[in-house]
Amino acid sequence: MKEKKSERSVIGIFDSGVGGLSVWRELFKELPFSDFIYLSDNAFCPYGSRKQQEIVDRVIKAVDFLIKKDVSVIVIACNTATAAAIETLRKNYTIPFIGMEPAVKPAAIHSATGVIGVLATQATFKGKLYNNTLEHFASDVKVIQQAGAGLVEAVEHDLTDSPQTAELLKNYIMPMVEAGADHIVLGCTHFPFLADQIRIVAGNGITIVDPAPAVARHTRNVMAEKGLLQDKLFSTEGRTLFFSTGETAMLQKIALSIKPGIPREDFIRIII
């Protein structure tokens, strides 16, 4: 992928760290002939405990970086960043933005017990988008909210299988299960990388809801509306470049576990 505009559509993906790779995983399944630029702001990760204006400032820097790379659409693959900044972005830029929203609606619709759990960051719970979703789609169910403090760090530092992470998940998930929740919504893009550990704690009969596949489908629909789909123009899949404001080791490890064979030179450390 050269600096000048690619013949392929280029999709920008932004997250505070490696969590957005759970969205990238679904996006390249849905849009295999597009190029991607993934930007991880892991030098400032986690975002969950930061002030809103600080998050907005970091997101704007990331968006400006991606726009200079000639992306056609930007996926804010971070629930906390979406909650803090999506309104500001849509007000100040013309490029299409796709944000993350905890999948409360499908969980509420399909719950047999009338109880659902939501595991997210405190900043996401405070966001207008999340609370509007609750008001419109979850008024008939009981919603148990749990801030997943420490879980983003566990994913970022390769501690998903550690005893400490297991204990955190037990403390966070068991109250939901004991209250009768039959769906647990993952309200942070880092959390799908803990799905196996969550299933161990939650046991059988619990549906874990990951919004990433729906976000990928929505991105495809937006690109179709904008005339950016290129399925018939290419016979080979697109390429992803990975940029990080911090160390790239964990980004490489997870990306390669999802899609082996990515060249090491496609992982680039930057300062923004």
CA distance 32 to 233: 12
Residue type, 195: A
45 counts as catalytic: no
Q: What span, in angstroms and rounded, lies between the C-alpha atoms of 266 and 269?
A: 10
What element of type H or E holds 11?
A: strand 10-15
Helices 212-225 and 21-30 meet at what angle, rounded to 10? 50
Q: Which of 85, 141, 155, 188 is catalytic?
A: 188
**CA torsion 152→73→217→80, rounded to 10°?**
30
Tell me, yes or no, if 78 is annotated catalytic. Answer: yes
Q: Which of 18, 62, 74, 78 is catalytic?
A: 78
The phi, psi pair for 180, rounded to 5°, reads: 100, 10
- Supply the residues annotated as catalytic: 78, 188
